[in-house]
A and B are shown apart, each in its own frame.
Chain A
Amino acid sequence: MIVYLLCFTLFLVGLYGVLTQRNLVKIVIGLSIMEISIFLFFTLIGYIQGAAAPIVVRGQVETQFVDPLPQAMVLTAIVIALATNAMLLSIAIRLYRKYKTFDIREMRSLKG
């Protein structure tokens, strides 16, 4: 149980970063931390204490395997997270070129 709580704490750390930080790059880092906490959660879902890796070879003795499906999902989710992070950072770089700063308090062209 404690592992799940730690995982949730990591999620909250990321959320705290997204909500309180004023620097664009730090907001992106906060989002990444949240992503990673969810990847950990997914791998924990499939984990079984003492079970073998889900690779079947000839002459296998173990009968209990770790669930491989969450691991496949995590791989897909990592690729998607890579795309979102690249997109976010490229927008952040463009914003830096326009405003000469990463501070979101300076960026106030949208109101209402």
Chain B
Amino acid sequence: MEQLVPVFIILPLVSAFIIPVTGRFSQNFTRGLSSIVFLILTVLCVASIGLWDRGMIIYTVGGWKPVGDIPIGIDLIFDGFSAFILGIINFIALLSSFYSIGYIKKYTSENNFYTLLCLMIAGMNGVVLSGDLFNIYVFLEIASIASYALVAFGVEKEELEASFKYQVLGGLGSLIILIGVGLVYWITGTLNIADSSNLLITKFDNKFYIVTQILFIAGFGLKAAIVPFHTWLPDAHSSAPSPISSLLSGVLIKAVGIYVLIRLFFHMFDLTYEVSLLFTLLGVLSMIVGGILAIGQSDYKRLLAYSSISQVGYIITGVGLGMLIIATGGDGSIAALAIFGGLFHLLNHAIFKSLMFMTAGVVEHSTNLRDLRMLGGLSRKMPLTTNASFAGSMSISGLPPFSGFFSKLIIIIAAFQAQYYVVGAIAALMSIITLAYFLKFHKDTFLSKARSEVRQFLPVPVTMKVPLVILGILCVVLGVFLVPQMKEIFMDPAINVIIDTDQYSEIILNVNR
């Protein structure tokens, strides 16, 4: 199994190289290749389920043995939490690349599209697996640069403008992260997360400690589009081609933003009350601002992009509550519940937001319209898309039988149990506002009378319909993760890894010795 860990990075990288080379000769091969690669990786993730409880799998790149007690090589770390995120990344990537087979034909240079897609996924897998700070930065830049190019893939005015804005802000975020990495190296003299966690504990009162934490929150917050840093997201996510929007919104902001924040603040830094409070406040702020800005939107994908900001706020709030409870020495089971809520919402958000962006792509492909004021009466012409979109919107708004309800409920219950009543109340209130704008959106697009602007209905290829069906069904059935047996298999390894804040560095340093 240890030898299989680097496959998550190598396989997409190699296929990114093969696609443009073979693309000249066989177009169908390149179309299928990326889907096959992501299928293999998803299967690998699911197959590793039984191995999570045995702690973590550590792969040392190049086999560099530690000198003394200091690890000098780069570690790739595959534990419950990274396996959870890797599964989400590769599953959504599989569906998006399958969806692209039908969707991307209208653009020129299909090969470049699949190359960039594979590069982006390789970067994200690398960020999730890496146990080395500078290595995280390198993979993060691979993922980011590929996503900059993919946002601009349409090369029209809006796409280019959105891409430029995204690049300037994303580049700023990367530079801030790089300064943070430099400061950690300055304080501790090591880049290995486990090792520096060990060394940072003793230098807690160092004046650079707080600065480093702030820099990481700002840098990765920019990548995750938490509210004061969110301005690039609505432009970038609404301008990209639809399968890419679903990847950006569903996966990228979580893998390179939220995942790294959780990893660093739980496993590298000591949890402090101030930072936990800051996290929760940022989460609540994202929840409110994203939700309120989404109400007024008239563009199909822009509305979805703003709702992403709001839903990311829920995830951050759940995790932040867990941090607060641990930092104040509260009940561990409530902390576990809050983190479970956050992670479950992360999974749900990946599923339903990808679904919503894919339905947006189907509608745009079929009618060539994106303005909600012009669309209308699509339910008769596109029953499948209507049902998929209904499942997605109800799941986002949090109505009972759908999965989104359970994750929001858990976050709210955890907030009330931990006696943060205001946070719980705001989360409940924002859920109602979400319901309001998604009902309005659903009525405008699908249910109202057909408007004269919708003239053409192009047929939708079957490759675009299959992902909608799969994701739509998942939106309904994912509530089963609440059943204790299912939770034990799929969610608990990830939660246990996060909760045991000291275990991470202990295991890695012991293995390296």
Contact = CB atoms under 8 A, between A and B. Distances in A.
Interface of A: 18, 24, 27, 31, 34-35, 38, 41-42, 45, 69-70, 73, 76-77, 80, 83-84, 87-88, 91-92, 94-95, 98-99, 107, 109-110, 112
B141 A80 contact: yes
Contact of B172 (A18, A77, A80, A83): A18
A99 B186 CA distance: 45
Given A41-B179, A80-B138, A88 B145 contact: no
Interface in B294-330: 296-297, 299, 302
Given A31-B168, A35-B175, A87-B145, A70 B185 contact: yes
Nearest to A76: B138
Contacts of B161: 95, 107, 109-110
7 contacts: A45-B186, A69-B191, A76-B138, A80-B138, A95-B161, A110-B239, A112-B234
A87 B151 CA distance: 12
Contact of A73 (B134, B148, B167, B302): B134
Nearest to B155: A94
B157 A42 contact: no
A27 B168 contact: yes
B468 interface: no
Nearest to A80: B141
Contact of A99 (B157, B168, B174, B182): B157
A77 B235 CA distance: 27
Given A77-B137, A91-B148, A109-B161, 10 more contacts: A31-B168, A45-B186, A69-B185, A73-B185, A87-B148, A87-B167, A88-B168, A94-B155, A98-B160, A110-B161
Contacts, number: 84
Nearest to A30: B168
Contacts of B235: 110
B182 A38 contact: yes
Contacts of B182: 38, 41-42, 45, 70
Interface in B123-179: 134, 137-138, 141, 145, 148-149, 152, 155-158, 160-165, 167-168, 171-172, 174-175, 178-179
* Residue with the greatest number of chain A CB neighbours at <10 A, chosen from B155, B163, B178: B178
B152 A31 contact: no
A103 to B, nearest CB: 12
Interface in B258-298: 296-297
Interface of B: 134, 137-138, 141, 145, 148-149, 152, 155-158, 160-165, 167-168, 171-172, 174-175, 178-179, 182, 185-186, 191, 234-235, 239, 296-297, 299, 302
Given A24-B164, A70-B185, A99-B157, A94 B152 contact: yes
A5 to B, nearest CB: 15
A110 B158 contact: yes
Nearest to B181: A73
Contacts of B160: 91, 94-95, 98
A84 B145 CA distance: 7
* Residue with the greatest number of chain B CB neighbours at <10 A, chosen from A77, A84, A87, A110: A110
Ranked nearest first, the 9 interchain pairs of A and B with the lowest CB-CB distance are A80-B141, A109-B157, A95-B160, A110-B235, A45-B186, A109-B158, A91-B164, A98-B157, A94-B160
A64 B411 CA distance: 54
* Residue with the greatest number of chain B CB neighbours at <10 A, chosen from A76, A87, A92: A87
Contacts of A77: 137, 178
Contact of A31 (B145, B155, B171, B191): B171
B49 to A, nearest CB: 35
Contacts of A87: 145, 148-149, 167
Contacts of A76: 134, 138
Contacts of B165: 110
B167 A112 contact: no
Contacts of A98: 156-157, 160
Contacts of A31: 168, 171-172, 175
B230 to A, nearest CB: 13
A66 to B, nearest CB: 14
Contacts of B168: 18, 27, 31, 88
Contact of B178 (A38, A94, A109): A38
B61 to A, nearest CB: 14
A109 B160 CA distance: 10
A45 B178 contact: no
A32 to B, nearest CB: 10
Nearest to B238: A110
A88 B164 contact: yes
